[in-house]
A and B are shown apart, each in its own frame.
Chain A
Amino acid sequence: MSALLTVEDLRVRFPTRTGVVEAVRGVSFTLGRERLGIVGESGSGKSQTGRAIMGLTPSHAEVTAKTLSFGGIDLISAPPKVRRDLRGKRIAMILQDPKYSLNPVMSIGRQIVETLRRHENVSRSEARGRALDMLAAVQIRDPARVFDLYPHEVSGGMGQRAMIAMMLVAGPELLIADEPTSALDVTVQLEVLSILDKLVADRGMGLIFVSHDLRLVSSFCDRVLVMYAGKIVEEIAASDLASAKHPYTQGLLNCMPVIGADRHPLPVLDRKPEWAL
């Protein structure tokens, strides 16, 4: 499989008043036209890894990598204009807090329309039609009503789906989805996943799927990276997740509340300092 994205020794550091926070500490992986899952501890650097690939790291932070290339373009040395042009069109990211990443003073529908028109030469009415279709595809009950709502007027899961619609409307080659379905009920979740699945299978999109939902990741993704304290501690075929080797991953599987199991309190991890070395 030819690599769409190559990441080698990616590091993200934040200088703060109380010292440097090393959010990402040497992450390496390649991505083809596949579904790559990233799971990991809260604060382990999943979102910052995605943001660095997108070029959305806050400006005061330091990003370094031996290689960070997308479709033959060296992202580290690429001028800001090249990165801006890639963003949204060829690489898209569904951010973890969608309602607060959307523009608060523009209606949901207009944001999708503007995104589409920025990347494609389509008429206003065609754009509107495609935006409505996209909202319907992500299972929004009444697309015409939601089209005119502002971000603060939609539910958590509707905001998430609006952001998904906006990111998919331009047809990216690489989609980084950061917890894209965490606010969706399970039936809608599966509908949205099957849209993403089709884009990978039919259009050859590369997908990075960040999620803490192990059941979804193991049933939906091809491969899984497990992150802990800024590093990848394990890489495993998604279908083999249940037989993971790293004690963090094993512990994760054991901590989940399972329907029908009556375990009070839930088992918790005994985190070893050497995991974070």
Chain B
Amino acid sequence: MTTAVSVKNLTVSYDDFKALDDVGVDVTAGESFGLVGESGSGKSTLLRAVAGLAPVTEGTIRVENWQLRGARRDKAFYRSVQMVFQDPYGSLHPRQTVDRQLLEPLAIHGVGDGERRILKALDEVGLGSGFRFRYPHQLSGGQRQRIAIARALILEPSILLLDEPTSALDASVQAEVLNLLEQVRRDRKLTFIMVSHDLGVVTHMCDRLAVMQNGRVVERLSSADLVAGRIGEDYTRNLMVASKGFRRG
């Protein structure tokens, strides 16, 4: 089994604050790996560090055959590794139509057949061609999120970094997007690292997961263990209890 992403002793600092503190994660090629945990614990920072978007102060990141230092990533890296950001608004260009935003990655990487790929990508995320010439502010929150997913998939990457990819979707559209993600993963042997606060989603999509709190990984376990309650840390147990819903009183 080959390792697709290997993160060792990773520390990311903003001035005196450590957003990640000595974090390690190994993800096997073709695996779907989950990240859950406290809001602000560093889940997005970990994905951003892999993508070269966070100030790494210590540790190493290896992705497929790239041994990565600093924030430098070559063009081929971004052909292989795509990220869906947590805030679709922030990752889409406000003054470009959906069409332009889907065309751009194809143009950068010299991929032809744009027309067909764009229509297929929109269709896959449940948006008809009627959305093709809209601007981000003319879309609902969930529609923007689906454009971000379509843009990440259009280059057919081998590794997808997914930051809360369905948090803005209702259950019906979420089911369609999760099915799509599972299908492309199977068909193209993709590797996923997926952040979600929804334990139902994470255990559905991922074989193994890491639980984060305060810049650290506090527990690593399989989805099967989580489901069966074979849990080592109180924090993880609290998450399981809280995911049952609200209790008054």
Report whether B197 and A186 are in contact in the complex, using a CB–CB cutoff of 8 Å. yes
Let me know if B191 is at the binding interface, CB within 8 A. Answer: no
Using Cβ atoms and an 8 Å threshold, which residues of chain A touch B90? Answer: 99-100
Let me know if B31 is at the binding interface, CB within 8 A. Answer: no
Report whether A40 and B170 are in contact in the complex, using a CB–CB cutoff of 8 Å. yes
Report whether B133 and A255 are in contact in the complex, using a CB–CB cutoff of 8 Å. no
Q: Mark A114-155, 1 if CB is under 8 A from B, else 0.
A: 000000000000000000000000011100010000000111
Tell me how far the C-beta of A97 lies from the nearest C-beta in chain B, rounded to whole angstroms: 5
Q: Mark A255-277, 1 if CB is under 8 A from B, else 0.
A: 11111100111111100000000
Report whether B239 and A219 are in contact in the complex, using a CB–CB cutoff of 8 Å. no
Let me know if B99 is at the binding interface, CB within 8 A. Answer: no
Of B74-82, B103-111, B176-184, the one contacting chain A is B176-184
B contact residues, range: 35 or more
Most A-side CB within 10 Å, residue of B17, B38, B245: B245
Q: Mark B193-213, 1 if CB is under 8 A from A, else 0.
A: 000011111011100000000
Tell me how far the C-beta of B175 lies from the nearest C-beta in chain A, rounded to whole angstroms: 4
A47 to B146, CA, bound (A): 17
Report whether B87 and A182 are in contact in the complex, using a CB–CB cutoff of 8 Å. no
Tell me how far the C-beta of A2 lies from the nearest C-beta in chain B, rounded to whole angstroms: 23
Number of residues on chain A facing chain B (CB within 8 A): 67
Tell me how far the C-beta of B47 lies from the nearest C-beta in chain A, rounded to whole angstroms: 12
Report whether A186 and B40 are in contact in the complex, using a CB–CB cutoff of 8 Å. no
A154 to B39, CA, bound (A): 10
Let me know if A189 is at the binding interface, CB within 8 A. Answer: yes
Let me know if A107 is at the binding interface, CB within 8 A. Answer: no
Given contacts A16-B138, A141-B214, A185-B197, contact A265 B87 (CB under 8 A): no
Report whether B40 and A158 are in contact in the complex, using a CB–CB cutoff of 8 Å. yes
Given contacts A18-B130, A183-B164, A193-B246, contact A42 B173 (CB under 8 A): yes
* A-B contacts besides A184-B39, A186-B239, A260-B203, 9 pairs, CB < 8 Å: A44-B170, A97-B141, A99-B87, A99-B90, A216-B245, A219-B246, A256-B200, A259-B227, A266-B175
Q: Point out residues on A near B: beta carbons under 8 Å.
A: 14, 16-18, 21, 39-44, 46-47, 58, 96-97, 99-100, 139-141, 145, 153-158, 161, 179, 182-190, 193-194, 197, 212-216, 218-220, 248, 251-253, 255-260, 263-269
